[in-house]
Structure 1
Amino acid sequence: MSDNRLEGLLHLFVFPPKMTVLSIAENRFWGTASSVCKIRGGILNFLDLSDNLLSGHLPNCFMHLRKLLILNLAGNNFTGKIPSSFGSLSQLHTLNLCWLKYLRILDLSANNISGTIPQCFNNFTAMAQKGDLFNGFIGSNYTDSYVYDYDDTQEFVNDATVIMKGRELEYGKYLGLLKIINLASNKLTGKVPSEISSLLEMVVLNISRNKLIGEIPQMIGQLKQLQSLDMSKNQFSNEIPSSMSELHFLSDLDLSYNNLSGKIPSGTQLQSFDAVDFTGNWALCGPPLPNKCPGEETPNQSDQPTDHDGYEDNEKDGDEFEKWFFAAAGFGFFVGFWGICGPLLFKSSWRGAYFLFLDNMKDWLYATKLAMCMKRLRRKF
């Protein structure tokens, strides 16, 4: 019943017995997820509650769904910590938590999950080793073959989607093709555990829009298969690890709006990304950002190659002339000013003669002007 406009309290939902597939994604159901625990028989394989209005804590009763392969809870308003009882879902392929060695896609994005990222991520064997521990796709040779007798299970798995490189993509039949962790848009705190660097075959890591702190794991360069890394809008600090230059397949990167500092590792493909991927880190410097790092020397203009050597020589001569011109003008003003005004300030006889001269000059100008005015009047009359 996914992708409709259904709404209402999920608790009132009537679930038929022995259900193996339930998908009510992209509707407007609200309430808690505990009502799903009313499904009897424990043979549910596929549960998709994503993109609804569900809230509250994740129920412990999910531990009874021991045959669950795929659980999608993204795009709701769940709060609190993930119950440790989820670890009993030993056959789960898509969720989170420790000891789920077949796990390939962990998508808990766009919820309100709090707490820290578990340190036991290194137990995700399928993300750490090459090959596909789960042979083939749904419906192939797996020990619990009875799980796949329900034909529609295959269709629901094929229609599942993940967020990769900022786009929603269908990952199709082969679960082993993508190994993804998406914890974006939650309320996770604390540091990113160093154990995450052991997931050597991980393709996408998105932990953006949380409240994570501390350094980016120094050994993140071990994730050689990583193609998309989004750690934006957190509170990461200190320098970008130099090992990040070893992520040769990385084609999508976003470290913006953290507290990173220092120089972006140079001589690597990190310079091929846009400056916007590093913006919001006020102490970060170096290409592709426009601000230079302290101590970096700016080349002199004379050291830069040019095809107009004569023009540069003329420009240099012009600069030298301007320097001497302003120096001479300043010296001349100083001498002229004090040469005239100095004696008037310190010698009273010179001041008297000077003011007498000005007074006589005023009288002469007044008499001359008066004579000229009288001459004009005579002509007129």
Structure 2
Amino acid sequence: MDLPAFGVEEWLNKWETKAKYDISQSSIKSLTLEELIGLDGTKVADFFARYANTNLDYGAIEGSAEFKQLVAGLYRHVEADNILQMNGATGGNFLALYALVNPGDQVISMLPSYQQLYDIPKSLGAEVKFVRLKEEANWDYDLDQLAKLVTPQTKLITLNSANNPTGTWLKADQVRRLAKIAASVDAYVLVDEVYEPLEARENFLSIVDAYDKGIAVSSLSKTYSLPGLRIGWTASNKEVADLFRKYRDYTTICGGVLNDALAVHALKNKDKILARNRKIVAENMQLVKDWVASEPKVALVEPESVSTAFIKLELKEDDYRFFTRLVKETGVLLVPGAAFGFPGHARLGYCCQKEVLQAGLRRLSTFLHQQ
């Protein structure tokens, strides 16, 4: 197996601990332990007192029964037994790809997207084709393009919705059409849904609720502001879940007893987390929109109530050189668009602390005009 460097992760690993104004991350401002536990008025000491005599063994391998039931409740037609707890959405994606993709298979992915969704299939010997999102089409997913790409040899379609980095997502009618296209060639569809939108949720349809061979992967990292828990899951039909169980034994043991308990607490209080995060997304996006309106060297297709945005910048030099100089000279960190295969752009993680966002954008503007 040969894998290229993971562009986004390699860049963040190098710079995120050195940046003063990190406006690159795609999670919504993370909750502290005290904030999470206190959502329902519980004190940290009282919460952990419940587990003081708990053995720190493996616990429930697939996630506790309560966790599985709460996650199943996020979907319309998924049984709790078909929920498998994973180490983040990254773990869920890897499991699905590892279990389904064989040498010679045809996989259709999307660009830009999370690199894992296309480079792992390539490394497993699959032929990978792409639905290419276009900025002039507001980064919308082109289902006509997908329909032309599928063949009887298509084993799997992968995408993330909402999309990382653009923040656009497939609406319910688009998901239903996607399912019909996949069904026409009997292909699986894997959708990384970790960036579930905060608004217009009535028009958000999970692939697992639209298609029997649909596989939804998600986690508490982005929309739920808990990337540090490293708790994600796969949701699928029983046949796929049973297949995943075999491969999961080789890739994942468990999420951890305490992490599971914290995940359950978060899911029980999800409405409070979502209300908090709607406010952050709305207020911070307004700051970004005002900044873009006043900054002639930047353009933006506005993300749709999602925590990641993809700005276009007027650059006079190579992406990596520009953004390296930016973080070294100003402390401002963004993810170069070239890490997604789209130079001249940058992933803007605008759902950070408001003061960090404002300071970062001011310094970015000054730096752009010093080129």
Q: Same fold (TM over 0.5)?
A: no
Larger fraction in helix: 2
- Greater relative contact order: 1 or 2 (C-alpha under 8 angstroms, separation 6 or more)? 2
Normalised by the length of structure 2, the TM-score is: 0.23
Structure index of larger Rg:
1
